[in-house]
Amino acid sequence: MRFDVSIQTEDFDLSAEIASLRNGDKSVGAVCSFIGTVRDRNEGDDVSSLELEHYPGMTEASIYKMLDEARNRFDIQGAKVIHRIGLLMPLDQIVLVAVTSAHRGQSFQACEFLMDYLKTQAPFWKKEGIPEGHRWVDARVSDDQALQRWGIDAKNASHSI
């Protein structure tokens, strides 16, 4: 069983991360991964850069908590979450979630669950460079709705709390 979180400025290599996650375990029959990358458009504007800030300590703890929740819900054998911080450019990789399991269904579901959880519950903030300057990215109600599909009430984008 391997469950690991890394918050880093450096880029990552999917093949190397998956090899490390599988770790020669012959019981693994499925590997599912998601990579989020920096787009050059958001809210109708050209985006030239993306800067990521986080809350050191709380970030790692909140993602380990998500991994525990994923292990409780799904029959998975390992998971790796990498989230980059600092200054990124369009095309750069931002986030990796990779999950292993015996059969594909559990790793597909756990991977999506972890991404939905990460979007609204981990203390990261994005600031994008646009032609007029810089702006903080707004939280999306659709991300809260994505987590609600899993029975978790998220109010991240709400103004009332």
Partner 1 sequence: MKITVRYFASVREHIGLSQECIDTESVDLATLRNELINRGDNYSNGLSAGKAIRMAINQTVCDENTRLTENAEVAFFPPVTGG
Pairing between strand 93-101 and 2-8? unpaired
The one segment of 15-23, 25-33, 98-106, 118-126 that binds partner 1 by CB under 8 A: 118-126
From the centroid of its chain, how far is CA 140? 15
Bridge partners (DSSP) listed for residue 42: 45
Q: Which is nearer to partner 1, 24 or 133 (CB)?
A: 133
Q: Could you say whether residue 152 binds partner 1 (CB under 8 A)?
A: no
49, 139, 148, 152: which one contacts partner 1 (CB under 8 A)? Answer: 139
Q: How far is CA 36 from the centre of its chain?
A: 7
- CA 17 vs CA 63, 91, 133: distances in Å: 17, 19, 35
**Member of 23, 43, 55, 104 binding partner 1 (CB under 8 A):** 55
Distance of CA 73 to the CA centre of its chain: 18
Cβ of 157: how many Cβ atoms within 10 Å?
A: 14
* Identity of the amino acid at 84: R
When asked if residue 158 is in the footprint of partner 1 (CB under 8 A), the reply is yes
Smallest separation, CB 125 to partner 1 (Å): 4
161 part of the interface to partner 1, by CB under 8 A:
yes
Near partner 1 by CB under 8 A: residue from 25, 40, 46, 53: 53
The footprint of partner 1 (CB under 8 A) covers 36, 52-55, 57-58, 61, 83, 94-95, 115, 118-127, 136-139, 143, 156-159, 161
